[in-house]
Every structure is written in C-alpha cells, then in structure tokens.
C-alpha cells in the first residue's frame, strides 16, 4: 500500500490506511450508537426512569472513553511533535490542548 502524506495545521505524518486508534474509536462509536437506539426504545416503551438514567450514564461513560482515546492520540502525535520542533507551534498547541481539557472537565 502506498503511503499518503497527511499534512495538518500542526504536523506532517505519513498515512498508511486508517489509524488503529481511529478504527478502535469507530468500533466503540458504533457500539454507542446501538446503546442510544436502545435508550430510544426504552423511552418509547416508557421503561422505569432509573433504568433509563443508568443507561444514559453508561452512554456518557462510553463517549468519554472515546474522547480519551482520541485525546491520547492527539497528545502522542500532534502535541509531541509540536513540543519537539519548538517555535510558535509549541505554545499554540499547548494552548489548544489546555482549552480542550478545560471543556472536557477532566
């Protein structure tokens, strides 16, 4: 398979098909999609509220897990590259990361 160069705002990486982290994230998101459909069914069937809330909590936890997976990839690639190369990219990407972390309430 021929490598494709992926150039983003922050870094340049060679791309050899879908990234393994993205594949894992997509699998998890498909599972979450199924959980949400189940939640819709529970609400439609007027199931017990506490059972619905328990499932809402499970979906939130699953989405948080996907977010952490993507965040880890970002830190290991984009943030790491920016810190190694230094310059203005370093400060920009750290500010961007801090903004993401603030929104995530980690």
Is 97:25 a contact under the CB 8 Å cutoff?
no
Beta bridge partners of 7: 12
The whole-number average pLDDT for the span 52-81 is: 93
For helices 49-74 and 20-44, the axis angle rounded to 10 degrees is 170
CB 28 within 8 A of CB 67: no
* Domains in the chain: ranges and CATH: 4-104 (1.20.58.1000)
Smallest CA-to-CA distance from 14 within 31, 28, 1 is with 1
Residue 6: what pLDDT?
A: 45
What's the predicted TM-score (pTM) here?
0.74
Q: Tell me, what's the pLDDT at 15?
A: 65
Q: What is the pLDDT of residues 7-40, one digit of tens each?
A: 445 445 566 778 899 999 999 999 999 999 999 9
Q: Share the mean pLDDT of the chain.
A: 85
From 21-35, 46-60, 80-94, the region with the lowest mean pLDDT: 80-94
pLDDT category at 106 given cuts 50, 70, 90 is: low
pLDDT at 5: 41
């Amino acid at each position: 398979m021929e490598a494709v160069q992926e150039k983003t705002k922050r870094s340049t990486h060679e791309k050899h098909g879908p990234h393994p982290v993205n594949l894992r994230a997509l699998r998890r998101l498909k599972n979450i999609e199924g959980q949400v459909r189940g939640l819709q069914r529970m609400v439609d069937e007027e199931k017990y509220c506490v059972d619905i809330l328990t499932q809402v909590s499970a979906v939130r936890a699953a989405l948080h897990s996907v977010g952490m997976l993507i965040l880890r990839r970002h830190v290991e690639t984009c943030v790491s590259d920016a810190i190694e190369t230094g310059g203005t990219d370093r400060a920009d990407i750290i500010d961007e990361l801090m903004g993401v972390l603030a929104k995530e309430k980690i």
